[in-house]
Chains A and B, each alone.
Chain A
């Protein structure tokens, strides 16, 4: 009986794979069909939370795009394939998207190993890979089909250094950073900028993403005797570090990168994140109309939930994709050629976004200097903490 089971199983799975292949070949884009974008990102696995945040941002943007009449009368839609941020799966997804003629461009993946492993396939297959969280400096060097709206760390970190050193007057810094390609690149830019502004970096400590316990790291930090802590972290690890810093008796000013900007940071950090300073790309009271529209729309759609940085990246990315498809149509090469042509797309992160043709990235992210006051993000009023 087990023999039989196996045979049916193998046959069944092969049949399903073939059927899937046949389906994607048979389906040709028709004008009543929506214009389809492929998304490769984590929906399960250790990074699943970021995939769900992307979806929220995408869906909100799509609602607005559809309400405004879609793309020249056609709807815009996306097909989200779960990669678990695993390069083996992201390359398979890349082949799937490349051979699916309905897909006009691709968004993602989340982590650098998964995204950059798929880049050669997108490049050779002639499908744009639009990586909106890919800050790895080599991502867009993968070829002319790689474009990114990820805020370049070369731009962001000097702003944070300026906030910490020039504005808050910190002179001797301890830098704690995620030991990933993003954290490492960010650290290097930050340290360089901070030194240029005249501060001394007393110690830098890299930690792995799964780390939960930072008490010993913080003792090391304490012994270096800094007057400020810089966190190049995501919100969950950032909150952990802030809590444990207070527990081991560190009372120094904490200044964090914009990636901690999330209501979760406040929820997870509790009282310990009070008075944490952070630079962000937007904030709730930001008078810019695109920000107000984004925040109001997001809260309405998701039961009053506050959007965070990853929601905003995804929202912007979908709007950018719509703008590009509006110019480029549904031809894959025309879409690539449309990227340099889009000008001043309204953006939460950049204000208005225009691609730099050389780097295939966007420069000039907005900057706001926030501080946590009474459990809320507030614009920093210039008062010392």
Chain B
């Protein structure tokens, strides 16, 4: 029984750590309706500024906190001014992509400045520990709790009772109305970003001290857990974010207690899905409160798509089809094979995210389902590879749609967060379901692609195969978009209430979109599995989901040609920048930001 006390205390301690990030995210979401994917990067920057202050300048703790807060706030202000303000009149999806680009750039800058080696960040507090239960807690635990709770309380008071706070809330409720009432919306945004960044920076430093360890990989994890905690508490609700974080910590701790360590994150993400499905406004919103997302689909702004003449497309397809006949290196072919595989995934995502408006952040799960199905069928049951690939697609369509179906009732950002969670759950199930997936050991010796008994081994034959599959899928999808079904999809995206009034069954159409999209993604994953010959739970990770979304937004939501163009660009650019070695991801991030800045509706525009 004593152990339960320990589990509870441990859950609260780690929940404390999550709360620091979640509060910053909640504040920004509350005002700009934006999930700030750069929050984890500010947290990282704060940790390293703290390291410089403590280890190089030997500042005392209060001064360290002030230095970090000011420096991080400056970073936040720069992000707001240069990265986000220029995008405020474009589609709401553009700032989301911009924060992803900013986080690439910040993470890389830190890595280049400080090297990727982890560093020790010694705590400046005396090492006094109190016995609680059978374990101990230290002064730093109390300080972290203090910072989390105080900042949440201060923010709550600020938002409720100060004039700027009213302006913040007014802006959150209705930006245009606030502007008409004379609120300086930009100043409000600035204030919010500054506060959130200062908080993010200080939390990065404190957490670094807590673990006596900082490294450049801490940013994405912090964002992920922060987002989960924030949504559990109710997006945009600052005190809710604290409670959500503590709850998340407790659920993880009890999950470890009952089932073991490797199930830990599984419970975090199951909690998230459960909360989203049962109480989509978060645990602390009243049931009758209007959802924070707009009622109509302004999430994806309409734009005039760039029409590419048919002959140009035909020439492009023909050109790429005969490319292997020319003396191009296998490296170029392999890069394009990667682009075609990503293209299939992007086709899938552009359909569900662009055409029907369900922005998925867990699309890599569909790849994984397809890959594992095809690999296991061909290895264990000796199914011919061609059939196994198709089975992979079908399994991905069926299983993927079933898993995602609980999130059909959600809108806007909530769909993204739910799919993110589902993606993580799939990956963790693959890791833990060892009797089928062989767990972390992975599946090796997957046979190469083959068609009608002929192995496709050479780069050219794999190229042609993947290119042909992608073109067929693209043609089918193009046909789908111009059909009655495609129009219904877009109607649901643009205004789901109006669509329902016209008698469209939302769930049925969303399922249809995911079935088609799941098939394309599953086939892509299956081909990749046979190409790689080895896969494990890390092969298809969150970064792939984020990459796919980047491709889709870059190409233009719902735009079939755009998805393929985006894939070629985002597979090609990092390869082109190879010459820049360590700097290439930095350059890639900057190019991405510039593209979002000057073409927020995507290269070819939303269809």
A joins B in a complex: yes
Interface size class on chain A is 35 or more
Q: Does B523 belong to the interface (CB within 8 Å)?
A: no
A96-140 vs B, Cβ < 8 Å mask (1 yes, 0 no)? 101110000000000111001101110011000000000010100
> In the bound complex, do residue A43 and residue B215 qualify as a contact, i.e. CB atoms below 8 Å apart?
no
> In the bound complex, do residue B575 and residue A17 qualify as a contact, i.e. CB atoms below 8 Å apart?
yes
| Known A-B contacts A21-B329, A92-B334; A249 and B136 likewise in contact (beta carbons under 8 Å) | yes
| Known A-B contacts A49-B118, A120-B533; A215 and B261 likewise in contact (beta carbons under 8 Å) | no
A176 to B256, alpha carbons, bound, how many Å?
Answer: 13
A112 interface neighbour in B265, B442, B582, Cβ under 8 Å: B442
| Known A-B contacts A44-B582, A82-B582, A219-B257; A267 and B262 likewise in contact (beta carbons under 8 Å) | no
**Taking the nearest CB of chain A, how far is it from the CB of B580, in angstroms?**
10
> In the bound complex, do residue A92 and residue B338 qualify as a contact, i.e. CB atoms below 8 Å apart?
yes
> In the bound complex, do residue A268 and residue B120 qualify as a contact, i.e. CB atoms below 8 Å apart?
yes
Q: Does B156 belong to the interface (CB within 8 Å)?
A: no
> In the bound complex, do residue B584 and residue A236 qualify as a contact, i.e. CB atoms below 8 Å apart?
no
Q: Does A88 belong to the interface (CB within 8 Å)?
A: yes
Q: Does A180 belong to the interface (CB within 8 Å)?
A: yes
A210 interface neighbour in B136, B217, B543, Cβ under 8 Å: B217
A223 to B133, alpha carbons, bound, how many Å?
Answer: 13
Closest to B256 in A: A216
Q: Does A142 belong to the interface (CB within 8 Å)?
A: yes
> In the bound complex, do residue B329 and residue A249 qualify as a contact, i.e. CB atoms below 8 Å apart?
no
B576 interface neighbour in A16, A112, A184, A210, Cβ under 8 Å: A16
> In the bound complex, do residue B253 and residue A216 qualify as a contact, i.e. CB atoms below 8 Å apart?
yes
A277 to B519, alpha carbons, bound, how many Å?
Answer: 51
Q: Does B189 belong to the interface (CB within 8 Å)?
A: no
Binds B, one of A240-248, A320-328, A356-364: A240-248
Residue numbers in A under 8 Å from B543 (CB-CB) = 86
A281-314 vs B, Cβ < 8 Å mask (1 yes, 0 no)? 0000000000000000000000000000000000
Binds B, one of A65-73, A200-208, A331-339: A200-208
A223 interface neighbour in B3, B10, B531, B572, Cβ under 8 Å: B3
Q: Does A10 belong to the interface (CB within 8 Å)?
A: yes
How many residue pairs link A and B with beta carbons under 8 A? The number is 243
> In the bound complex, do residue B532 and residue A87 qualify as a contact, i.e. CB atoms below 8 Å apart?
yes
B213 interface neighbour in A44, A51, A240, Cβ under 8 Å: A240
Residue numbers in A under 8 Å from B111 (CB-CB) = 44, 48
Q: Does B573 belong to the interface (CB within 8 Å)?
A: yes
Q: Does A343 belong to the interface (CB within 8 Å)?
A: no
| Known A-B contacts A13-B572, A117-B534, A240-B213; A138 and B134 likewise in contact (beta carbons under 8 Å) | no
Closest to B221 in A: A210
Closest to A223 in B: B3
A121 to B458, alpha carbons, bound, how many Å?
Answer: 9
> In the bound complex, do residue A10 and residue B569 qualify as a contact, i.e. CB atoms below 8 Å apart?
yes
| Known A-B contacts A119-B533, A206-B440; A49 and B116 likewise in contact (beta carbons under 8 Å) | yes
B495-531 vs A, Cβ < 8 Å mask (1 yes, 0 no)? 0000000000000000000000000000000001001
Q: Does A162 belong to the interface (CB within 8 Å)?
A: no
A239 to B117, alpha carbons, bound, how many Å?
Answer: 14
A138 interface neighbour in B260, B444, B603, Cβ under 8 Å: B444
Interface-centre pick from B138, B265, B576 (highest chain A CB count, 10 A): B576
B426-457 vs A, Cβ < 8 Å mask (1 yes, 0 no)? 00000100000001111011001000000001
B338 interface neighbour in A14, A91, A112, Cβ under 8 Å: A91
A218-261 vs B, Cβ < 8 Å mask (1 yes, 0 no)? 01101100000000000010011001000111000000000000
> In the bound complex, do residue B212 and residue A243 qualify as a contact, i.e. CB atoms below 8 Å apart?
yes
Residue numbers in B under 8 Å from A381 (CB-CB) = none
Residue numbers in A under 8 Å from B479 (CB-CB) = none
| Known A-B contacts A17-B575, A268-B212; A87 and B539 likewise in contact (beta carbons under 8 Å) | yes
Residue numbers in B under 8 Å from A183 (CB-CB) = 440
| Known A-B contacts A217-B256, A219-B6, A268-B213; A184 and B116 likewise in contact (beta carbons under 8 Å) | no
> In the bound complex, do residue A95 and residue B334 qualify as a contact, i.e. CB atoms below 8 Å apart?
yes
> In the bound complex, do residue B534 and residue A113 qualify as a contact, i.e. CB atoms below 8 Å apart?
yes
| Known A-B contacts A49-B116, A268-B212; A138 and B534 likewise in contact (beta carbons under 8 Å) | yes
> In the bound complex, do residue A96 and residue B117 qualify as a contact, i.e. CB atoms below 8 Å apart?
no
Q: Does B115 belong to the interface (CB within 8 Å)?
A: yes
Interface-centre pick from B122, B262, B265, B457 (highest chain A CB count, 10 A): B262
> In the bound complex, do residue A17 and residue B534 qualify as a contact, i.e. CB atoms below 8 Å apart?
no
Residue numbers in A under 8 Å from B120 (CB-CB) = 267-268, 270
Residue numbers in A under 8 Å from B215 (CB-CB) = 49, 236
Q: Does B335 belong to the interface (CB within 8 Å)?
A: yes
> In the bound complex, do residue A222 and residue B134 qualify as a contact, i.e. CB atoms below 8 Å apart?
yes
**Taking the nearest CB of chain B, how far is it from the CB of A171, in angstroms?**
22
A175-197 vs B, Cβ < 8 Å mask (1 yes, 0 no)? 01001110111000000000000
> In the bound complex, do residue A239 and residue B138 qualify as a contact, i.e. CB atoms below 8 Å apart?
no
B585 interface neighbour in A44, A125, A243, A247, Cβ under 8 Å: A44
Q: Does B184 belong to the interface (CB within 8 Å)?
A: no
> In the bound complex, do residue B10 and residue A215 qualify as a contact, i.e. CB atoms below 8 Å apart?
yes
A249 interface neighbour in B115, B134, B333, B573, Cβ under 8 Å: B134
> In the bound complex, do residue A5 and residue B598 qualify as a contact, i.e. CB atoms below 8 Å apart?
yes
> In the bound complex, do residue A213 and residue B14 qualify as a contact, i.e. CB atoms below 8 Å apart?
yes
Q: Does B459 belong to the interface (CB within 8 Å)?
A: yes
A213 to B3, alpha carbons, bound, how many Å?
Answer: 17
> In the bound complex, do residue B534 and residue A119 qualify as a contact, i.e. CB atoms below 8 Å apart?
yes
Residue numbers in B under 8 Å from A144 (CB-CB) = none
Q: Does A89 belong to the interface (CB within 8 Å)?
A: yes
**Taking the nearest CB of chain A, how far is it from the CB of B322, in angstroms?**
15
**Taking the nearest CB of chain B, how far is it from the CB of A80, in angstroms?**
7
A317 to B253, alpha carbons, bound, how many Å?
Answer: 42
Q: Does B158 belong to the interface (CB within 8 Å)?
A: no
Q: Does B201 belong to the interface (CB within 8 Å)?
A: no
**Taking the nearest CB of chain B, how far is it from the CB of A146, in angstroms?**
12
Q: Does B82 belong to the interface (CB within 8 Å)?
A: no
Interface-centre pick from A6, A179, A208, A249 (highest chain B CB count, 10 A): A208
A141 interface neighbour in B17, B330, B444, Cβ under 8 Å: B444
Mark out the residues of chain A between 57 and 84 whose CB falls within 8 Å of any chain B CB in the assembled complex.
80-82, 84
A180 to B441, alpha carbons, bound, how many Å?
Answer: 7
Mark out the residues of chain B between 292 and 341 whose CB falls within 8 Å of any chain A CB in the assembled complex.
327-335, 338, 341
A51 to B117, alpha carbons, bound, how many Å?
Answer: 10
Q: Does A24 belong to the interface (CB within 8 Å)?
A: yes
Closest to A184 in B: B440
> In the bound complex, do residue B576 and residue A13 qualify as a contact, i.e. CB atoms below 8 Å apart?
yes
A25 to B330, alpha carbons, bound, how many Å?
Answer: 11
> In the bound complex, do residue B135 and residue A212 qualify as a contact, i.e. CB atoms below 8 Å apart?
no
Q: Does B384 belong to the interface (CB within 8 Å)?
A: no
> In the bound complex, do residue A6 and residue B572 qualify as a contact, i.e. CB atoms below 8 Å apart?
no
> In the bound complex, do residue A220 and residue B582 qualify as a contact, i.e. CB atoms below 8 Å apart?
no
**Taking the nearest CB of chain B, how far is it from the CB of A212, in angstroms?**
6
**Taking the nearest CB of chain B, how far is it from the CB of A191, in angstroms?**
15
Residue numbers in A under 8 Å from B444 (CB-CB) = 116, 136, 138, 141-142
> In the bound complex, do residue B598 and residue A52 qualify as a contact, i.e. CB atoms below 8 Å apart?
no
Mark out the residues of chain B between 338 and 370 whose CB falls within 8 Å of any chain A CB in the assembled complex.
338, 341-342
Residue numbers in A under 8 Å from B218 (CB-CB) = 212
**Taking the nearest CB of chain A, how far is it from the CB of B587, in angstroms?**
11
| Known A-B contacts A92-B338, A205-B262; A24 and B116 likewise in contact (beta carbons under 8 Å) | no
**Taking the nearest CB of chain A, how far is it from the CB of B248, in angstroms?**
12
A-B contacts, 20 listed (Cβ < 8 Å)? A44-B111, A52-B116, A81-B578, A87-B528, A87-B539, A113-B532, A113-B539, A116-B534, A120-B457, A138-B534, A141-B445, A176-B261, A208-B262, A220-B261, A222-B134, A239-B213, A243-B211, A247-B135, A270-B122, A270-B212
Sample of 16 further A-B pairs with CB below 8 A, known A210-B221, A213-B13, A219-B257: A16-B576, A43-B581, A94-B334, A95-B329, A95-B330, A112-B442, A117-B533, A125-B330, A138-B444, A184-B439, A208-B264, A213-B17, A216-B14, A220-B256, A243-B211, A268-B120
Residue numbers of A with Cβ under 8 A of B are 2, 5-6, 9-10, 13-14, 16-18, 20-21, 24-25, 43-46, 48-49, 51-53, 80-82, 84, 86-89, 91-92, 94-96, 98-100, 111-113, 116-117, 119-121, 124-125, 136, 138, 141-142, 176, 179-181, 183-185, 205-208, 210-217, 219-220, 222-223, 236, 239-240, 243, 247-249, 264, 267-270
